[in-house]
């Protein structure tokens, strides 16, 4: 996976690898919800993730789908106190 990277691009890779946490979620489970504090990026190892906005009435608006190999987060993850604006 990292073989195609130029020399020097792997600096700090060990630090990154130590921070990786692998989690599994049952089909249909909520990974995070609007209002949750986020500080990470999620990578879809297998399956499909639906990102959506949920109204107080329960009505759902689909933002996007993330397939295997894709990644997602919320712009909120860039702020120390950022909160997700959608459900995953």
DSSP β-bridge partners for residue 60: 54
The pLDDT of residue 25 is: 93
Give the integer Cα–Cα distance in Å for 54 and 52.
6
Which of the 8 DSSP states describes residue 39? -
**Tens of pLDDT along 20-69?**
888 999 999 999 898 888 888 889 999 999 999 998 898 999 999 999 99
The strand pair at 42-43 and 71-72 is best described as: antiparallel
Which fold, 32-88? Jelly Rolls (2.60.120)
Q: What is the pLDDT of residue 50?
A: 96
* Residue ranges of domains in the chain: 32-88
**Residue 9: its pLDDT value, please?**
66
Length of the chain in residues, anyone? 88
Residue closest to 45 by CA, chosen among 64, 76, 72: 72
| Predicted local distance difference test score (pLDDT) of residue 79 | 74
Output the pLDDT for position 35.
87
């Amino acid at each position: 996976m990292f073989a195609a990277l130029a020399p020097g691009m792997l600096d700090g890779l060990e630090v990154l690898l130590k921070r990786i946490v692998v989690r599994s979620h049952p089909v249909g489970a909520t990974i995070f919800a609007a209002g949750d504090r986020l500080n990470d990026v999620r990578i879809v190892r297998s399956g499909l993730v639906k990102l959506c906005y949920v109204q107080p009435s329960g009505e759902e608006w689909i933002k996007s789908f993330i397939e295997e190999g894709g990644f997602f987060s919320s712009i909120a993850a860039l702020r120390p106190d950022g909160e997700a604006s959608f459900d995953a």
